[in-house]
């Protein structure tokens, strides 16, 4: 609730906030109200890994959790963000253009 009331959260566009809300709800469903200091990197990574079959969702979940934890660090509620260093699962949804296509587009 405090994060949702913060400037960091409120400055986002309505669509950004709606997206974050979707992932904040997943975090709340998992842990409910929790002490930020109890979240370890292992717990965060295990949560991400549960969404291995949907890598985009896993990455968005971790970005939201990391934003929440970064906010908590800046307010002195926890000493560190355990999401730092947890890698992405997705490679992105678009492949780079082959060189011949890139050359034609640049011409």
Contact indicator for 86, 41 with CB cutoff of 8 Å:
yes
CA dist list (Å): 22 to 15, 19, 98: 11, 5, 36
pLDDT at 96: 73
Encode pLDDT of 8-61 as tens digits: 999 999 999 999 999 999 999 999 888 889 999 999 999 999 999 999 999 999
Please give the pLDDT value at position 93. 59
- What is the tens place of the pLDDT at every residue in 58-93? 999 999 999 999 999 999 999 999 999 999 998 765
Would the pTM of this model clear 0.85, i.e. be above it? no
């Amino acid at each position: 609730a405090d994060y949702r009331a913060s400037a960091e959260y409120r400055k986002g566009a309505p669509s950004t906030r709606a997206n974050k809300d979707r992932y904040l709800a997943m975090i709340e469903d998992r842990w409910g109200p929790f002490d930020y200091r109890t979240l370890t990197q292992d717990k965060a990574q295990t949560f991400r890994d549960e969404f291995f079959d949907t890598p985009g969702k896993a990455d968005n979940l971790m970005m939201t959790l990391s934003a929440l934890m970064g906010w908590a660090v800046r307010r002195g509620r926890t000493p560190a963000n355990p999401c730092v260093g947890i890698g992405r699962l997705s490679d992105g949804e678009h492949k780079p253009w082959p060189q011949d296509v890139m050359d034609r587009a640049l011409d």
